[in-house]
Structure 1
Amino acid sequence: MTTLTPILTRTWDHPRSWTLQAYREAGGYRALDKALGMEAGEILTMVKDASLRGRGGAGFPTGLKWSFMAPPDGGPRYLVVNADESEPGTCKDIPLMMANPHALIEGVVISSYAIGCEHAFIYLRGEVVHVYRRLLQAVEEARAAGLLGDDIGGSGVTVDITVHAGAGAYICGEETALLDSLEGRRGQPRSKPPFPGAAGLYARPTSVNNVESIASVPGIVLEGVDWFTGMGTEKSAGFGIFSLSGHVRTPGQYEAPLGITMRELVDMAGGMRDPDKELKFWTPGGSSTPIFTAEHLDVPLDFESVAAAGSMLGTRALQVFDETVCVVRAVDRWTEFYKHESCGKCTPCREGTWWLKQILGRLERGEGSEEDLDKLLDISDNILGRSFCALGDGATSPITSSIQYFRDEYVAHLTHGGCPFDPAASTLWAKDGGTKETVSA
């Protein structure tokens, strides 16, 4: 079994772990002290050499993203932390900010110094008011201790942080929609180019990074590149927080090296919630990634291996479903979410997600025909790669993958004139209504 790597999660169970005192007692802000004695370019080079890849879903190299920013011209440059965690099943950034907000703040100060930013923003999902208050308190603590503001530690470095609460729109997790929202406009994806690195917040060079990505920077600065690359795989270095939810005995956040397998994580979580039920399907990166089945339990959870197996590592939101779950109903509920959260800017997503929901709802009720399955695939194909942002693409992933692995279950809904699934018995009712057919996971 792969060993867990409690780094960002190391102090989560400590009393008052969110306070500046507790963070400093655990070694916090030592990385900042070291960073302030380095040149900004040295920090950027360390992050690039460590091969830290974005932990928000896309997996783009963080240091490379920083280096793509337009060169300094005397005007402001911005770091924006994307804390708008709204993907169904994703739960890593919110507990991180709740239990260890100073890890993020230290990462923001170091990262801002590396890219020449003097004012950073943390854009938080608005519904999590308790996290918003905790972040505000942590920022005030850091500012009062001289860790934020002008001339930090007598170094001449100036960095301040504004914590902004969004209004609860999933689309604002897309970086350019987030920037529009932060500027006070309706959150909708921007046409690209220009990319944020050239013209982002207030039309200035901006880097938008995930919470976990930025919180990982202090460890790289303090412990070194070799320490970070010594975990994970050759192309997916380091560690990550894996969020297990659903039908496991002990759901929660498991911080482990990239490349760990789902089988190992399920074992760490105590196995399936009901040991008599088999795992049926699971999501490797949240509901916007193609689903996996039991045959994928030994796929290494790193960017390359998951992609080679036909899905995406995404946010490492591992939702586990046992054989009592109707896959058609699960996909129908996810699709309802994406339809509701579409911003409506582009036709493929605005119209396509609406039609996907209508057809899925019809199939779940046992109406329509098998031709509707081909229509779902056709609509998905017309959305994929043709929408302004990844929301449209993500809406198609659970549909196409579930038809790939569970087409028989879709057909069974039509054959029996409604959902034939008996959750208590993990079976499909037979057509004659007298016996049952077991559904293969």
Structure 2
Amino acid sequence: MINCCIFEDDTVSNLFPITETRPIYDCQVGMSTLFEKFYQSFKYSNITLHARAYLKSTLQESYKKFPINNINTGSPCLFYNGRSIITEELVNKIKKIDPNQNTLFTYKGTIIVAFLKGDLLEIAIHLLKELPNNSTFIKQLRSKCIVTELDECNIVNAPWDLIEFNKLYLETDFKNSKKLGIIKGHLSPFTSVYDESNVFIDKNSYVEDFVVIDARKGPVYIEQNVIIHAHTRIEGPVFIGKNSTLLGGRISNSTINQLCKVSGEVSNSIIESYSNKAHAGFLGDSYVGRWVNLGAETTTSNLKNDYSDISIKFEKNKIQTNKQFLGTMFGDHVKTAIGTKLNCGTIIRTGSIIFNHTFTTKYYPPFSWGTADKKTYFKLETFFLALERIMKRRNIELSDNYKNLYIFLHENYTKK
């Protein structure tokens, strides 16, 4: 049985705000996380996770069966970059690795796969005591490995890359599920389904009258215990996670994870678990973290009036995205006031409460309170009081590990 280690590298800050509270491999694309996609291909391996030290305790709550930052040195190990989204082609290449040879797969200066043993394994373990730099990693290993430069690799270099890959993996994940054309849930008499062979609805899900499920352009996968209210239009590819509720509106080319409430128009977006967009408003080409609440009529712009590429602001840096369509990246536990209108390419980082927003403001630091211009922070004790109320509504208790993570983040971000 092979040993595997899924690791973070030193580009994590390039993926903020979505990786401020979790590794990239714990983020959703298509119907599952990057980790779950890797696990489906290597489930019979001994898998170890590598992450920033301050994430270890909360990550362990979600991945109870997997060691974290504790690599077995007794036998060879396959190191896999957590930013890489697994494909069938890459799995086949990995399975052809000669177990007697140290091997590297690289892609444009990034290590994707490293199969290592002996002294090189010890070097890799030493490098992983911190977030490894790819150039250093390659320099240390290249001379003693068989090196293959991959022609293609689906790698996440920026938060919006998940949105870019989402449609592809919605279709791939649906195909791999082998559940095409199976409807276990309740369809009301006046529900319209187009291309039923491209639809899956799990048990105990309820679809009211006057709902349209259109799977002609892509699959629609609805997990169990989902409620879809009348006057909802779903245009595939779309994934709806278990225990979520759709309250009307139009959903297209999007992933909505478990225990979400969604209404209005959602297009080309990913909404992580426990987040609400329960009212009217447009969400387009956006990523919404966990435990986010978008107030009524919150709307994201995703296209400039002159159709030129969108830039973002991150801290003091202006970054060109080379994207014509890009909405807002919401970190975990972000809340917006009613009527919030967000410019294209807006970044709102973890724990921010947004009100009195001006449309030209495109960057909110972590734990922002009100407007970014005043540089006022969400007080920690107030943050936890709100957190406890919100999580209690979902019958989830605020754990000490989760609390300690946010104490750490708040102290580090608000002292700057």
Whether TM exceeds 0.5 here: the answer is: no
Larger radius of gyration: 1
Report the TM range for the smaller structure's normalisation: under 0.3
Q: TM-score, normalised by structure 2?
A: 0.27
| Higher percent of residues as strand | 2
Q: TM-score, normalised by structure 1?
A: 0.26
| Higher percent of residues as helix | 1
